[in-house]
Structure 1
């Protein structure tokens, strides 16, 4: 069993996942719009360019997501963070800086009593992230 975060956006899923692919050095496995889906005729033309499903692979892990339709907007992402556990301080610093670009740092990446580095941020798309490096390997 694997647990995969599924992120819902109000129209900027494609931009977010393109950004995440760069930041996390992952590969977008699939990105399908509402207009490309077999259910195309069930959606108004003005949502055909929105993402109905995407999947980003990072190693053997995945993050998935989609846009919502304008008649069902999400009020934002709160109460949950995507937690990244990395193996070394250099990678923690790289990932944290990349995700923080255009976002808001909630807790700077620093040494804590449990980790060589830990930090929290909200990225430019409103997604909360925690970057954790328990020890530098």
Structure 2
């Protein structure tokens, strides 16, 4: 069994995943928009370029997401994407990149359990925890 986060966006999914691809050194393998799907005829034309499904592979991990139609979109609450690395320089680089134009909730710092730990909400409203043991 594998558990994968599936993120919902309010029209910025492609921008967010291109950003994550760059920040995390991953590779987008699948990106499907509403207009090229079997649902195209039932989808308003202004949503044809929005993302129905995207899959980003980072090593052997997968992050997925989509643009939720406005009537179904809800802001992300009560969860964080937890990112773990064993390299402090990598933790610092990723934290800096993800926090660009976002909100730092806890600065990346040494803690009693980790060489580095910090929390942020990125510019797309997604909460992250970066941990370096």
TM-score range, shorter chain: over 0.9
Give 1:70 deviation, angstroms.
2.4
Partner of 1:102: 101
Aligned to 2:14: 14
Which residue in the other structure is 2:67 paired with? 67
Q: CA RMSD in A?
A: 0.8
Q: Distance in 1 between matches of 2:71 and 2:121?
A: 25
Superposed displacement of residue 133, structure 1: 0.6
2:23 corresponds in structure 1 to 23
Aligned to 1:131: 130
For 1:42 and 1:70, locate their aligned partners in 2 and report how far apart those are by CA, in whole Å.
Answer: 15
SS at structure 2 position matched to 1:94: helix
Aligned-partner Cα distance in 2 for 1:131–1:72: 29
Once the two structures are TM-superposed, the CA of residue 37 in structure 1 deviates from its matched residue by 0.8
Q: After TM superposition, which residue ranges in structure 1, 4 or more long, deviate above 4 angstroms?
A: none
- Runs of 5+ in structure 1 lacking a partner? none
- Matched length: 133
Cα distance in 2 for residues equivalent to 1:12 and 1:52:
12
TM (norm. structure 2) is 0.97
Give the TM-score, by structure 1 length.
Answer: 0.94
Structure 2 unaligned segments of length 5 or more: list them: none
Residue 78 (structure 1) shift: 1.2
| Structure 1 CA distance for aligned equivalents of residues 85 and 71 of structure 2 | 38
SS at match of 1:30: strand
| Partners of 1:41 and 1:103 in 2: CA distance | 36
